Amino acid sequence: MPRCYFTGVAMQMDDAFVFNRRAAKATIASLQHQIQSLQRLLDQLGPMDATPSSAMPVANGKQKHLPAPRQHRLACKSMALALAQGFPEVDLFESWPAYRAQAHGQPKAKPPVTEPDHAPN
């Protein structure tokens, strides 16, 4: 009579299960592909871009350069929807108003993007 590998409990052959190694390896390959895709998105959209610094006149006639603010790289709604389809288990994109509210300690204003901003032609 066979025994369970994990518990040692005796069981009938008809009640036994076999680990599907092929499915496990295929899942790992799929997850590795998702990791690579997500890394490419992070490399493209993750950095903050510096804007040109602005000069401000000062009392003694000289100019004081203000540090350049950094800006997020933004995506339109249709691109956010298309890119997010590859990762349905996580909300990769959120609307700018929702992000700003969350960044300032307020509750989220809207749920993540769910519909395209224009109808396909």
The pLDDT, as a whole number, for residue 104 is 79
| Count of structural domains within the chain | 2
Residue pointed to by tokens 């000289």: 62
Assigned domain for 95 exists: yes
Its domain, for residue 111, covers: 72-121
| pLDDT tens string 48-106 | 887 766 666 666 667 666 666 678 888 999 999 999 998 888 888 999 888 888 887 76
| Cβ neighbours for 74, distance < 8 A, ≥ 6 positions apart | 96
Assigned domain for 67 exists: no
The pLDDT, as a whole number, for residue 13 is 93
Assigned domain for 58 exists: no
Nearest to 98 by CA among 84, 111, 109: 109
Assigned domain for 52 exists: no
- Say what the pTM is: 0.60
Same domain, 41 and 83: no
| Per-residue 3-state assignment (H helix, E strand, C coil) for 51-94 | CCCCEEECCCCCEEECCCCEECCCCCHHHHHHHHCCCCCCCCCC
| pLDDT tens string 40-56 | 999 999 888 877 666 66
